[in-house]
Amino acid sequence: MNVNVFKIPQRSPDDLTGLETLIQQGTIDPATIVAIMGKTEGNGCVNDFTRGFAVQTLKFYLQAKTSIEQAKTVIYVMSGGTEGVLSPHLTVFTRENDSAEGDRRWGLVLGVHHTRNFLPNEIGTLTMIHVVAAGVKTAIAQAGLTPEHVHFVQIKCPLMTADRLDNSPIPDSYKSMAYSRAASALGVAVALGEIDPEHLTDADICHNYALYSSVASTSAGVELQNCEILVLGNARDSTSDFVIGHGVMQHALDIDAVKQAIASTGSPDRIINVFAKAEADPSGKILDRRHTMLDDSDISHTRMARAVVGAVVASVVQDPMVYVSGGSEHQGPAGGGPIAVIA
């Protein structure tokens, strides 16, 4: 498997000039695109339509370049919110089959999967966990990976708008984002053997934060009703020039974890992009100091957390064009989150 990764700046959610240039130059064959992750400049909350706008623009563009069927197979993960210094951009993943003579090396491989659509009463439940776990296992097998060599699992998951809440046990649309992210993350943990599914209950979701995945990154959006799964890891028979490593931030200011994740790639001077999760510590404290992110009624705590972690990561790599997603329920320890680096 030959995987390539391209980081492309954007002037707006519908700006594809950078992608178009790479395609015109022959650097990217649009038929080989399997996943696109993006940071868009909306609020990252329920009514952030920059995510759907970006996905719609990409789908129409790729349909014209390839086909409607091919464009539907791509994983689209748009994460809203570029608070602070975060800079809007796309990360494009391509995948090609190797030739028999390819030079094999320890390098990046990937797998993808689209789950079925979820009913409103399934979002944020054990059913969602089990469906996601099965999808993650499928993507791992597609990539030719073993669980111990998985470094990052990115999932785009659904949320519920007010008109769908009548059929859901979740009280409001904003909380549906957290429950959807949480169940998706626990699905990753189950698939990778990080937790025992036999002891999981619905009551654990968004409550028992001792249960988490160290490699899951989940992002909820109104633009889909299923989960789109991207699994990234390293394998010995790759022909990719890229490699991925990861770490786990214990708190929002954990610079050491950022540095360790970078070092784990073995190529600290050749970073392509950094992918991190961020949340306001539910204890109300960071490093034993009180924070007020959870008490602010004007600005969502997920937006504040993105700004903090974005600044921390950008200060280490000296590049504000990094992917930081807010809301890390069951994604790393409470108040922290996984961080992955591609070099």
Marked catalytic residue, from 168, 219, 238, 240: 219
Q: Provide the residue type at 144 as one letter.
A: G
- Of 316, 320, 307, the closest CA to residue 280 belongs to 307
> Edge-to-edge, what's the strand order for the sheet holding 244-249?
244-249, 337-342, 273-278, 323-326
Tell me the H-state helices in the chain.
17-24, 50-65, 68-73, 126-143, 173-191, 255-263, 301-317
Joined tokens for residue 45: 């909350």
- Report the alpha-carbon distance of residue 167 to residue 83 in Å, rounded: 33
Question: Where does residue 97 rank: exposed (0-12), middle (13-18), buried (19+ CB within 10 A)?
Answer: exposed
Joined tokens for residue 169: 């046990």
Spatial contact of 152 and 139, defined as CB atoms under 8 Å apart: no
110: part of which helix (H) or strand (E)?
strand 105-114
Joined tokens for residue 312: 């921390």
Spatial contact of 328 and 276, defined as CB atoms under 8 Å apart: no
Q: What is the β-pairing status of strands 150-158 and 216-221?
A: parallel
Specify the long-range contacts of residues 303-307, CB closer than 8 Å, at least 24 apart: 303/43, 303/44, 303/45, 303/81, 303/83, 304/83, 304/280, 305/252, 305/278, 305/279, 305/280, 306/44, 306/81, 306/82, 306/83, 306/84, 306/86, 306/278, 307/83, 307/84, 307/85, 307/86
- Tell me whether residue 59 is one of the annotated catalytic residues: no
- Tell me whether residue 219 is one of the annotated catalytic residues: yes
* HSE-up (13 A, CA, CB side) for residue 314: 18
- Report the alpha-carbon distance of residue 293 to residue 285 in Å, rounded: 10
> What are phi and psi for residue 249, nearest 5 degrees?
-75, 130
Marked catalytic residue, from 156, 173, 176, 264: 156
Catalytic residues: 156, 219
